[in-house]
Structure 1
């Protein structure tokens, strides 16, 4: 039988089998990690300073632990197998690293923690966060999570990052009604939905969902966040119909790049209604291939300052206004696209 970590530590420290038996009794429900503070060692009869130091040194070397003397027995439970969910011990350990009072109990520490980052941990489930009731930032990006769940107690959460997972549905967010930023890029979400309770949402990113067809957009969800949402990312989602986005009258940044959006009435309607829109990305769409694409987008949007990562200079906009304002006219029509009436009075354009 392969020698356990416990046996390796004790053998290296030169301790007898009697001590080994005592340590085995102290193991925690099949886990190989356990508290090895000086006080713990003394409690089972190991008082020799040399042996104590040898054990602590070997434990730190073999298990990669630092400052073990500040850890509690509960915090040192780590599974032998790769972690598939957020272990309670991981939560406690991260939470304790942020607290100034190292003597706080695990429960107190978890109730105080504001930020947790479990990105890239091969997680498949979200569990053991119920006690983190003051948590404001949570990153679970780059894992294998299939469902948004286990977050209902995080009512103070402001920022949630779930990029690069296996999530198929936008759900179980109803209790997170203080959420301000939600990042879900590179998942498998088919539909933007269930945002009716997100009355504080300012940023939503759903770029590049891995789908066979276009991402669907629920009108009720768009309406629910229309007055608070400032930044929306929907790049690379095979979108061709975007009419529901016209409700977003507070949007300032919109990324629709690399979709299938044509020159159409919906696009004109959106740009006309988004009076605060300052940054727009449409590169990689059919509409962006039009000869006068840039001119049209600038004239259609009242406040646009940047198009496809290129600044719109004041003199560029003024030149276009003057050029089109010499006479009342219309923009060229495409299939199902409206003519846009342009009339300039002084330095102001009306459409």
Structure 2
């Protein structure tokens, strides 16, 4: 078993220089490169308190441990290991970028203290058959004010409505998942006003009618959709087309409502006397009634009588 220790660091990375000791080197170390070294465990590295960037991708790690000392860490690369849980990250409060793609993580959790995290990469988790990547609501809420980049490609995800709280997102990639409902997708995207790039290639929703047009009109700031740039003239045309379509729909609805009111008024007529219900001619007991004379007719009748 290969364990990452200060002795291993000194052996592999330290180059002797005049006047610089190994201890001094470890204390001032900011970048540590140990990718693809068959590392299975992280030992005591507490002397490396100035560490800001740690490369441990393409190893054999099964958990995240022994990093509580790294309060200055800003970039952590742990992709392509065998990590199953997102543990022991709460002390990394300066962490800005976290790479965990290609592991065995089933639940995104344990990031409640990382209020400065801007990028989270979780693509291609090695999940069990029928399993999909899940998100802890507490973690999502904690990241809602900071997270700008989220990559969840190829994780069997069927629904992203719970991600709607991530209102600062600028780059979102969820390619090769199982997203199907375009209406639900539109509702989420409307809550991401700063979104610049969106990648949903390989999802069933991409086959929906007017898929691209609908998303372009919803995402007013979007610059790239599924790897293709969005022309601003095209966006404005689609927005105007949508507005015109909605105006026509409202006008049609208003006309239908007006016709319904007229029909209702006709069916409840005034009859001979105000307040009488209209009775069809073929109704039982119906009898024609003599029309009342108008005021002019009465006046003319009186004149005829006077001069007869």
Normalised to the residue count of structure 1, the TM-score between the two structures is 0.67
Residue 329 of structure 1: CA displacement? 5.8
Moved more, 239-248 or 87-96: 87-96
Q: Distance in 2 between matches of 1:248 and 1:265?
A: 18
1:270 to 179, 182, 188: 188
Distance in 2, matches of 1:306 and 1:119, equals 32
Q: Which residue of 1 aligns with 2:49?
A: 133
Q: Secondary structure at the match of 2:98?
A: strand
Aligned position for 1:311: 229
Deviation, structure 1 residue 104: 2.2
For 1:1-351, what aligned pairs fall within 5 Å after superposition?
Answer: 84-93=2-11, 96-97=14-15, 102-212=18-128, 213-328=131-246
State the distance in 2 between where 1:329 and 1:255 align: 34
- Partners of 1:330 and 1:146 in 2: how far apart? 59
Q: Match for residue 61 of structure 1?
A: none
Which moves more between the two structures, 138-147 or 299-308?
Answer: 299-308
Q: Which runs of 5+ in 2 are unaligned?
A: 250-308
How many angstroms apart in 1 are the aligned matches of 2:136 and 2:116? 18
1:100-145 per-residue CA deviation (whole Å, 9 max, x = no partner) reads: x542222211110000010000011011321110000001000010
Give the structure-2-normalised TM-score.
0.77
What residue in structure 2 maps to residue 343 of structure 1? none
Work out whether residues 182 and 211 of structure 2, in 8 Å CA contact, stay in contact via their aligned partners in 1.
no
Report the CA distance between 1:325 and its aligned residue. 2.4
| Equivalent position of 2:296 in the other structure | none
Q: Is the 8 A contact 1:135 1:156 kept in 2?
A: yes
SS of aligned partner of 1:167: coil
For 1:249, what is the secondary structure of its paired residue? coil
Residue segments in structure 1 that go unaligned for 5+ positions in a row: 1-82, 332-351
Verify the 8 A CA contact 2:57 2:81 in the aligned structure 1: yes
Q: Does structure 1 retain, via aligned residues, the 8 Å contact 2:182–2:208?
A: no
Instruction: Name the larger-Rg structure.
Output: 2
Q: For the residues of structure 2 that align with 1:329 and 1:233, how far apart are their CA atoms? A: 37
Structure 1 segments, 4+ long, off by >6 Å, are none
User: 2:220 and 2:11 mapped to 1: Cα distance?
Assistant: 51
SS in 2 for 1:266: helix
CA deviation string 1:216-235 (max 9, x = no partner): 11111011011111100000
